[in-house]
Structures are given as C-alpha cells and as structure tokens.
C-alpha cells in the first residue's frame, strides 16, 4: 500500500497548501490511503465540520487530532457520528468520539489508525502505551489489518521514539505530531515499522511553530501576553511522510514530504 500521513494542518495557509498539492500527490504517488492531523485546522485551534468535509472531499480518508481536538466546540456535536475523525484514544473514559478505527482503502484494504497523546510535558492522560497495546492486540497487523498507522501526538522526542520501538514489528508506521517541525530521522526500524519523530506542520515556517511570530517572541522575552496566537499568513509548506508497505503490512520505504513554502523541498519519486 502507498500511504501518505500529513502533519498538523495549521489555519488557512496550511489548508491552502494541502488543497493545492494533495491532488497531484495522490495521482503521482498513486496513494491508496491518506491520513492528516487536523487539530489546528480552524484558525490554529481545533476543526469545524465544514473544514473536515473539505478535507474528506480532497481525498483525506482519516483525520487525527491531539490536545486541540475540542477547541472548536461544534466538534462535540458531530464527532460521535463521524468515525473518520479521531481524538486521542487515551482521553478519560466517556469522552465523546473514538481514538482508533479500522478503515477501508479505495482498493478494499483494511487500515487501522490509532491516535494517542503523550504525557510528558502534556496533560496527564491515561497511559498511551497501554492504549496502543490494546488496539494492536484487538486488530493485529497482517491478520485483522493490512496496514497499521499510529499518530503519536506528543511533545517529547523520547516518548515518541519509545512508542515507535514499542510498536516495531506490529505497525506499518508510527509518526509523531504536535511539535509542528519535521524531524530528519525517517527510517524503518529492524522489525519493519516506519518511523519519523515528527511529521512537521503544514504551515508558514516564518513563524513560531506555525503561529505569527510577534506574540510568541513577546511572551518569551517580556512575559506579557498582548494578543491571541494566530497562524502566520505566508505561503505554507505541506509536511508529511510517505510510506510504502509490503504484503505483510511492514514498511518497505519511507520518504519525508515537504512541498511549498520556505523549507527545503522533498518530493518522493513516484
Ligand atoms: Fe498541532
Ligand atoms: Fe498538539
């Protein structure tokens, strides 16, 4: 299978680069399945029904999220009936929505997608490792799923990397989100699981992690907050990872994707 995972889409610049570039990527890379993290899609905070529908019509099959999943309160009215949007699996019991789902690709292949959140320098949620373990046992790669993708939404590199190794040999791809900057460690672990610590954000990189830079710099230097954070408005870079899997569901190839905007470009060959 050919899978594209797109990192946190941040505000209008992020949405625009995804809608401009995804159709050609789908065609050129012959993508079977597309997952995108949408937690910052609406003005940097959360996601709306309209934006989610736009993503689905672009060919995004599943939307993952993270700590900002419920920043737009309207999501509480539709996440229960929308299996294609995931929120972190390790939120308290009873939280609306789901943290994992088994989806079908256009070719009829089964893709398990799990979204969890780290606990280091973040809210103290349930154990993300136990949450992933439960999903991997319930839906094993090569048996109940043809591909398994884990979005580990976390602050700490160490926690994301530990999750990658924890899943090695049991997932097709473990990819980090939340830090909004792509890391240069795309690799396939010894057991066959593709890994990258952070997919990177889809945002204008003349910014502080996608946000207009004046306010964050002011808060760091003067400890005064004078306005809300808002997404930086220059041309954005689409950031993600492209993975090809073999018949057993293990990764045979991983390539970082960076298209548009200021970052050094990285476009996988088809
Ligand atoms: Fe984010
Ligand atoms: Fe986040």
Q: Which ligand is nearest to the CA of 39?
A: 1
Q: State residue 260's pLDDT score.
A: 98
Q: State residue 115's pLDDT score.
A: 98
- Residue 194 backbone phi and psi in degrees, to 5: -75, 150
pTM: 0.98
CA of 268 to the centre of ligand 1 (A): 24
Average pLDDT over residues 27-41: 98
Decide: 224 and 202 in contact? Cβ < 8 Å: no
Q: pLDDT class for 223, splitting at 50, 70, 90? A: very high
CA of 104 to the centre of ligand 1 (A): 26
Q: pLDDT class for 19, splitting at 50, 70, 90? A: very high
User: Which residues, by Cβ under 5 Å, contact ligand 2, an ion?
Assistant: 66-67, 178
DSSP E strands in the chain: the ranges are: 2-6, 33-37, 62-64, 100-104, 110-117, 147-153, 173-177, 187-188, 194-196, 238-245, 251-259
Q: Which ligand is nearest to the CA of 229?
A: 1
The closest of 168, 201, 204, 162 to 183, measured between CA atoms, is 201
* Residue that the structure tokens 């996440």 belong to: 79
CA of 33 to the centre of ligand 2 (A): 23
* Residue that the structure tokens 């905007």 belong to: 261
pLDDT in tens, 127-185: 999 999 999 999 999 999 999 999 999 999 999 999 999 999 999 999 999 999 999 99
**Beta strands across the sheet bearing 194-196:** 100-104, 110-117, 147-153, 173-177, 194-196, 187-188
CA of 12 to the centre of ligand 2 (A): 17
Q: pLDDT class for 32, splitting at 50, 70, 90? A: very high
CA of 65 to the centre of ligand 1 (A): 8
Q: pLDDT class for 259, splitting at 50, 70, 90? A: very high
CA of 67 to the centre of ligand 1 (A): 8
Confirm whether 178 is a catalytic residue.
Answer: no
User: Nearest-5° angle of CA 43, CA 47, CA 50?
Assistant: 100
Catalytic residue from among 68, 153, 178, 180: 68
User: Which residues, by Cβ under 5 Å, contact ligand 1, an ion?
Assistant: 8, 39-40
Q: pLDDT class for 4, splitting at 50, 70, 90? A: very high
Express as a percent the part of the chain with pLDDT over 90.
99
Average pLDDT over residues 2-29: 98
Q: State residue 208's pLDDT score.
A: 98
pLDDT in tens, 79-94: 999 999 999 999 999 9
Q: State residue 240's pLDDT score.
A: 98
Q: Please, what is the average pLDDT of the chain?
A: 98
C-alpha torsion angle, residues 255, 259, 262, 266 (rounded to 10): 30
Q: Which ligand is nearest to the CA of 210?
A: 1
CA distance 16 to 259: 12
Q: Which ligand is nearest to the CA of 121?
A: 2
Q: State residue 206's pLDDT score.
A: 98
CA of 153 to the centre of ligand 2 (A): 6
């Amino acid at each position: 299978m050919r899978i594209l995972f797109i990192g946190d889409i941040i505000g209008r610049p992020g949405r625009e680069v995804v809608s401009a570039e995804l159709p050609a990527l789908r065609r050129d890379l012959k993508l079977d399945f597309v997952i995108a993290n949408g937690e910052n899609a609406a003005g940097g905070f959360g996601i709306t029904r309209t934006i989610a529908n736009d993503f689905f019509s672009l060919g995004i099959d599943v939307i993952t999220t993270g700590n900002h999943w419920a920043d737009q309160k309207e999501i509480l009215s539709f996440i229960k009936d929308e299996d294609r949007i995931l929120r972190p699996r390790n939120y308290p019991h009873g939280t609306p929505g789901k943290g994992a789902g088994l989806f079908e690709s256009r070719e009829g292949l089964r893709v398990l997608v799990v979204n969890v959140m780290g606990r280091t320098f973040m809210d103290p949620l349930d154990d993300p490792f136990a949450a992933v373990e439960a999903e991997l046992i319930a839906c094993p790669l090569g048996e109940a799923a043809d591909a398994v993708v884990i979005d580990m939404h976390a602050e700490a590199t160490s926690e994301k990397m530990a999750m990658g190794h924890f899943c090695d040999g049991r997932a097709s791809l473990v990819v980090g989100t939340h830090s909004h900057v792509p890391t240069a460690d795309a690799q396939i672990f010894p057991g066959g699981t593709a890994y990258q610590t952070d997919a990177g954000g889809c945002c204008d990189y003349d910014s502080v992690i996608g946000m207009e830079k004046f306010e964050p710099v002011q808060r760091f230097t003067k400890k005064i907050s004078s306005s809300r954070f808002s997404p930086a408005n220059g041309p954005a870079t689409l950031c993600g990872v492209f993975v090809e899997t073999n018949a057993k569901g293990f990764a045979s190839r991983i390539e970082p994707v960076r298209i548009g905007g200021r970052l050094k470009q990285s476009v996988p060959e088809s």
